[in-house]
């Protein structure tokens, strides 16, 4: 849990995604196969997708041949996951109280979620549900702001997005709490989206989802105007939105 945001506001944000579940499923990017291969290797494993949300990481895990069980605190988000993967067991729960028995999985992974976990109690739960020799994998997609229009978008979001602890800080906290050795890998992906899909995707972020309706419309209107006026995006029907994908494999000692 980040220390730079009020605890009540942090809790409100981390439980806000149910209100935007359908849009989240449609508009957030997935995860590249090479990131999953780095985290889990080539042989099939039984994997807990923790903070699984609508199943975007589950997509890649299932495609790689893994047996997946999903856990997320939002019933609405899990409803989207069940629609995508009706054969994947999905349970309402959180990282601090995982609804699985001890030594149940070979790996625990979290896509775009570990910054919502409280490291110390969550680390104890991860050790409990992992089998001997198991691993923990965290992965985040981050917009690639080396592209000028993406940098302009990031600057426009910076004031509202503050309070999200950097992924490296989250990894360091878990590495200390487990304790674990850490290996890292970086890959990339590009999402082809319309300008309005960029705006709607921003609307699925916790800081936007927790705004009042009027404030949210004003905020997203500013993003819409930015895209309409930026020389790299003005008049374009489709945009290439680049991401870097950072994967962290934690091997408990």
Query: Is the pLDDT confidence value at 163 over 70?
Result: no
Q: Is residue 34 part of a domain?
A: yes
- The domain in which residue 13 lies consists of 7-144+165-190+243-252
Q: In CATH, what number is assigned to the domain containing residue 61? A: 3.40.50.150
Q: Is residue 120 part of a domain?
A: yes
Q: Is residue 21 part of a domain?
A: yes
Cβ atoms 48, 105 nearer than 8 A: yes
- Predicted pLDDT of residue 40: 98
Q: Is residue 75 part of a domain?
A: yes
Q: Is residue 137 part of a domain?
A: yes
Q: Is residue 49 part of a domain?
A: yes
Q: Is residue 46 part of a domain?
A: yes
Specify which residues 247 forms β-bridges with. 139, 185
Q: Is residue 107 part of a domain?
A: yes
Query: Is the pLDDT confidence value at 53 over 60?
Result: yes
- Predicted pLDDT of residue 2: 44
Q: How many domains does the chain have?
A: 1
Model pTM?
A: 0.89
Give the contacts of 246 (CB within 8 A, at least 6 positions apart): 139, 140, 142, 167, 184, 185, 186
Rounded Cα gap, residues 118 and 12, in angstroms: 14
Cα angle at 188 between 186 and 189, to 5 degrees? 155
Percent with pLDDT over 70 in the chain = 91
The three-class DSSP label of residue 232 is: coil
What φ, ψ does residue 75 adopt, rounded to 5°?
Answer: -60, -35
Q: What is the pLDDT of residues 76-120, one digit of tens each?
A: 999 999 999 999 999 999 999 999 999 999 999 999 999 999 999
Query: Is the pLDDT confidence value at 10 over 80?
Result: no
């Amino acid at each position: 849990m980040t220390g730079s945001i009020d605890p009540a506001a942090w809790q409100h944000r981390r439980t806000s995604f149910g209100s935007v579940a359908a849009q989240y499923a449609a508009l957030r990017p997935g995860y590249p196969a090479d990131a999953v291969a780095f985290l889990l290797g080539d042989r099939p494993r039984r994997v807990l997708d923790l903070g699984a949300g609508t199943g975007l990481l589950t997509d890649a895990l299932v495609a790689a041949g893994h047996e997946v069980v999903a856990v997320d605190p939002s019933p609405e988000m899990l409803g989207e996951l069940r629609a995508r993967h009706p054969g994947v067991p999905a349970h309402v729960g959180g990282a601090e109280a995982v609804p699985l028995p001890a030594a149940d999985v070979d790996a625990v992974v979290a896509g775009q979620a570990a910054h919502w976990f409280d490291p110390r109690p969550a680390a104890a739960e991860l050790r409990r549900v992992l089998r001997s020799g198991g691993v923990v994998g965290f992965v985040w997609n981050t917009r690639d702001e080396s592209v000028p229009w993406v940098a302009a978008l990031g600057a426009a979001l910076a004031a509202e997005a503050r309070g999200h602890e950097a992924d490296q800080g989250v990894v360091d906290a878990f590495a200390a709490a487990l304790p674990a050795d850490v290996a890292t890998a970086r890959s990339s992906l590009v999402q082809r989206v319309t300008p309005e899909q960029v705006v709607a995707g921003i609307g699925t972020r916790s800081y936007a989802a927790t705004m009042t309706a009027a404030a949210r419309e004003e905020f997203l209107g500013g993003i819409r105007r930015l895209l309409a006026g930026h020389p790299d995006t003005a008049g374009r029907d489709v945009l290439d939105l680049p991401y870097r994908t950072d994967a962290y494999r934690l091997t408990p000692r």
